[in-house]
């Protein structure tokens, strides 16, 4: 099965000619270590929602049929460094699915028409490898809003991707999920956003999540931090992303090395390096700052409020339906209606 699959994907070219099956396997299919929900700090609502609408339907397609079926696509949006890519990998691991990690560069080519062929081949492979998760990092760069000055090849790739996404689950037995991650959700094309029916905001980690990150990273190191000092670190890192917290711990871990004389590095043993202390974290906090500005954070939260979606409920009732109606937002915005009316008047 896999032999035929990778043969069909030999459509992408490089400077040396056709890309090899081995290169293709490493460039698109992800073979990293397994990821569990415990590896993702915080975002409990997002994790619970993904389990209910994605993982469980993939594991039990016999129960989740009809309206209970999984969506064709979900959109993970929020500040950079909050674990969106890790969530995509976790979905694939927990559902036993094949994980395809792609970017815009994976589907573009200097050869006319090859980009559309790569898109078709990608979904063909996903159908053969079901259940499959196609993760698109920075999806806004691939499916940005279409405009008059856009290059024709880029427009064709977007159109082909939307067509393939519509046909990805034509059969009730198909189990293909497209997961898009972006830091700029407002720049995604409206037609693409409509197909990514479930939109989940992945916010900055809260205090408990930041504590979990520090505790987990420091558990692997020679460290002298106590519970009170960890609480102080959590208080001082309000506004830090998960990536910022990792960078802070990495910077603090270099403190014991910097306290040594350069001549000692060549002769000292690992046991002689002092443990990482709270003072190392205080020093690291002077150089590591939050990567997300308050202004950008407000933009994410504002967009999230306009896209709020009610979590899937196990039982359907009239009250639940009414609550869903109050939180569901229109996909078409007013400025788009104005554009369509203007186009209609010009053609009349």
Q: Which CATH superfamily is domain 2-204 in?
A: P-loop containing nucleotide triphosphate hydrolases (3.40.50.300)
Whole-structure pTM value: 0.75
Q: Do domains 2-204 and 207-291 have the same CATH topology?
A: no
E strand or H helix that includes residue 135: strand 132-137
pLDDT tens readout for residues 16-66: 334 434 444 554 555 567 888 888 988 899 899 888 888 888 888 888 888
pLDDT of residue 109: 66
pLDDT tier at 14, thresholds 50, 70, 90: very low
Give the residue among 137, 141, 136 at the shortest CA–CA distance from 122.
Answer: 136
> Which DSSP letter does residue 54 get?
I
User: Helix (H, G, I), strand (E, B), or coil: what is residue 65?
Assistant: coil
Q: Is the pLDDT of residue 218 over 50?
A: yes
Interval 76-103 mean pLDDT: 87
User: Helix (H, G, I), strand (E, B), or coil: what is residue 69?
Assistant: coil
Q: Domain locations in the chain?
A: 2-204, 207-291
**Which is more confidently placed, 259 or 327?**
259
Other CB atoms within 10 Å distance of the CB of residue 268: 13
Other CB atoms within 10 Å distance of the CB of residue 178: 26
126, 19 in Cβ contact below 8 A?
no
Buried/exposed 310-339: b ≥16 CB within 10 Å, e otherwise: eeeeeeeeeeeeeeeeeeeeeeeeeeeeee
Task: Give the list of residues 6+ apart from residue 73 with CB closer than 8 angstroms, or none.
Answer: 165, 177, 178, 179, 180, 195, 196, 197, 198
CATH number corresponding to 207-291 = 1.10.8.60
The number of C-alpha atoms within 13 Å of 28 and in the hemisphere containing its C-beta is 28
C-alpha to C-alpha distances, 35 to 140, 216, 288, 302, nearest whole angstrom: 25, 15, 27, 31
Interval 60-89 mean pLDDT: 87
107, 19 in Cβ contact below 8 A?
no
User: Helix (H, G, I), strand (E, B), or coil: what is residue 18?
Assistant: strand
């Amino acid at each position: 099965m896999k032999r035929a699959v990778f043969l069909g994907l030999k459509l992408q070219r490089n400077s040396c000619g056709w890309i090899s099956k081995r290169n293709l396997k490493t460039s698109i299919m992800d073979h990293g270590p397994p990821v569990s929900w415990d590896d993702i700090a915080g975002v409990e609502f997002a994790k619970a929602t993904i389990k209910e609408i994605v993982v469980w339907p993939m594991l039990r397609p016999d129960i989740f049929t009809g309206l209970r079926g999984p969506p064709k696509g979900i959109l993970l949006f929020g500040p950079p460094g909050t674990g969106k890519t890790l969530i995509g990998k976790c979905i694939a691991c927990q559902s036993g699915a094949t994980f395809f990690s792609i970017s815009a560069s994976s589907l573009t080519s200097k050869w006319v028409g090859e980009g559309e062929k790569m898109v078709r081949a990608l979904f063909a492979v996903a159908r053969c490898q079901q259940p499959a998760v196609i993760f698109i990092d920075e999806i806004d760069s691939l499916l940005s809003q279409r405009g008059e000055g856009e290059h024709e090849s880029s427009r064709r790739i977007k159109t082909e991707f939307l067509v393939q996404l519509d046909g990805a689950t034509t059969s009730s037995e198909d189990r293909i999920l497209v997961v898009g991650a972006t830091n700029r959700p407002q720049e995604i094309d409206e037609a693409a956003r409509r197909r990514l029916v479930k939109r989940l905001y992945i916010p900055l980690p809260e205090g408990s999540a930041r504590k979990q990150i520090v505790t987990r990273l420091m558990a692997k190191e020679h460290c002298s931090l106590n519970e009170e000092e960890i609480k102080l670190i959590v208080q001082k890192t309000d506004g830090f992303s998960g990536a910022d917290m990792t960078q802070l711990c990495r910077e603090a871990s270099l403190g014991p090395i910097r306290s040594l004389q350069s001549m000692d590095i060549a002769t000292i043993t690992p046991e002689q390096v002092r443990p990482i202390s709270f003072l190392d974290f205080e020093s690291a906090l002077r150089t590591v700052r939050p990567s997300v500005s308050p202004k950008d954070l407000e933009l994410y939260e504002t967009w999230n409020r306009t896209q709020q979606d009610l979590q899937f409920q196990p039982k359907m009732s009239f009250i639940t339906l009414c609550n869903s109606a109050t939180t569901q937002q229109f996909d078409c915005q007013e400025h788009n209606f104005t554009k369509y009316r203007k186009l209609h008047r010009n053609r009349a």
